[in-house]
Amino acid sequence: MGEAGALVPEPYVVVGRRQEAEDVVTLRLEPVDGVRPAFRPGQFNMVTSFGQGEIAVSMSGAARAVEPLEHSIRRVGAVSAALCAAPIGAVVGIRGPYGTSWAVEEVEDGADVVVMAGGIGLAPLRGAVMELVARLEAGRGRVFVLAGARSPDQILFPEDLRSWERAGAHVAISVDVGAPGWTGAVGVVTDLLATAPFDAEGARALLCGPEIMMRFGGRALVDRGVDPARVLVSLERNMQCGVGLCGHCQLGPVLVCRDGPVVRYGGLADELFMERNR
Amino acid sequence: MSERSSEHTRALVAEHAFLAGLPPQAIELVAEVGEPVSFGAGSLLFREGSPADVAYLVTKGRVALEVHAPNRGPVVVDTIGAGQVAGLSWAAVPFRYQFDARALDDVEAVAVDAARLRVALAEDPVLGFLFLDRLAAVMLRRLQATRIRLLDLYGPGGG
């Protein structure tokens, strides 16, 4: 996509929708014309609700080109509310993909991978976990999925979590507040690290969720012995142009839309997290 | 307690993460005042308001700390797994449990006689300090985790 084209949304039609939680909807999208561009898990698109506006949303589905594009959107403002309400057959705008990925393809054979997600943070990691589970099934390395949610009814992608566990992944879930019938863990997601039997030597970690969770999670992983340079986090800022021109998403030396959203924790995000008023 | 079961208790205590790194006399002490216990899923380890006379070193399974709320029934405030301690109230006055502790699945633990432990630690201030240092770390971690949860990070605008 050229620079000019990068700023022009392409029309995509909603071919499917799933209510993941009370305030989270996954839209399955196909281009009105042509084939959707390839992407890597962790990247994002600018998604337009025509007449409302545009927001940055990470891809939440498989990167395979045969699959429709999937975006899991949490209803927090006018644009996201309009997108969450988009019925099958509606047309939305898509431009992208933008930004950096989880670089799952670079994970060395045999290395353990820890995936820590909080809330809607599981959505940008979902495609990466799909690839990591395929890697696990191919005998190339283990994966540990630690997911936190506000309450049991807010756990995203429960079917996926079960299928990843059946495939041999270590899956642990923790909620902030339990509910009748919930027999899983109650507490913060970082506590799940204590019972995840991964080998910190050579391990990689992928974190996405509230910034405070990533801050504490990054520190806990490093305390456990994971090399901080092998911990990746996904930053969230006010992305507008998506191509590093407007500067709205600047965070210290980083233009999150261009240099992120996925950045290394050690020597970058760990310091950025400690900057105030950003 | 038979010699064989004493050895079993000592092995469980020596391997427990809460006591890792403490000197041998600490392991000996806990083994002396502890005994292996098990609880079926759903059974209570202790009840809110009752005297906190036992600390449980969980070795298998998970324990939910619950509080009863009007019109809501039992609300789980935390879960505790293998390598952790259920029941910290034995360490400070008024020595009364503040929550119900219920086995979420089949639980195995070492039940430590807290009254005897308190006396022994008072008689050996160095060991007492080491224990309290360890307990303080657990309490601090739980306090910090509770504060983080109060932020409602996953709620609207929580991030």
Burial of A228 (0-12, 13-18, 19+ CB in 10 A): middle
Chain B residues in contact with A120 by the CB 8 A cut-off are 154
Chain A residues in contact with B157 by the CB 8 A cut-off are 76
Q: Is A184 on the interface with B (CB under 8 A)?
A: yes
CATH 1.25.60.10 for domain B3-150, yes or no, is: no
B64/A178 CB distance under 8 A: yes
> CB–CB of A9/A36 below 8 Å?
no
Nearest CA in chain B to A212: B159
Count of helices and strands (H, E) across chain B: 4, 8
Share of chain A above pLDDT 70, in %: 97
**pLDDT exceeds 80 at position B158:** no
In this structure, of A38-42, A242-246, B56-60, B114-118, the range with the lowest mean pLDDT score is A242-246
How far does B139 lie from chain A, in Å, by closest CA? 14
Query: What are B's interface residues with A at a Cβ cutoff of 8 A?
Result: 62, 64, 73, 75-79, 81-84, 104-105, 145, 148-149, 151-159
Task: Indicate the residue type of B139.
Answer: M
Phi, psi of B80 (to 5 degrees): -130, 135
- What are the domain boundaries of chain B? 3-150
B153/A212 CB distance under 8 A: yes
> CB–CB of A136/A142 below 8 Å?
yes
Q: How far apart are CA B17 and CA A172, in angstroms?
A: 20
Q: Note the pLDDT tens digit of each residue in A74-106.
A: 999 999 999 999 999 999 999 989 999 999 999
The pTM for the full model equals: 0.87
Mutate to test the interface with A, among B18, B67, B75, B76 (most CBs of A within 10 A): B76
Chain A residues in contact with B16 by the CB 8 A cut-off are none
Chain A residues in contact with B81 by the CB 8 A cut-off are 185, 194-195
Mode of pairing for the β-strands spanning B44-46 and B54-60:
unpaired
Average pLDDT, chain A: 92
**pLDDT exceeds 50 at position A159:** yes
Share of chain A above pLDDT 90, in %: 75
Domains of chain A: residue spans and CATH: 5-98 (2.40.30.10), 104-274 (3.40.50.80)
Q: How confident is the model at residue A200 (pLDDT cuts 50, 70, 90)?
A: very high
Q: Note the pLDDT tens digit of each residue in A30-69.
A: 999 988 899 999 999 999 999 999 999 999 999 977 889 9
How far does B149 lie from chain A, in Å, by closest CA? 6
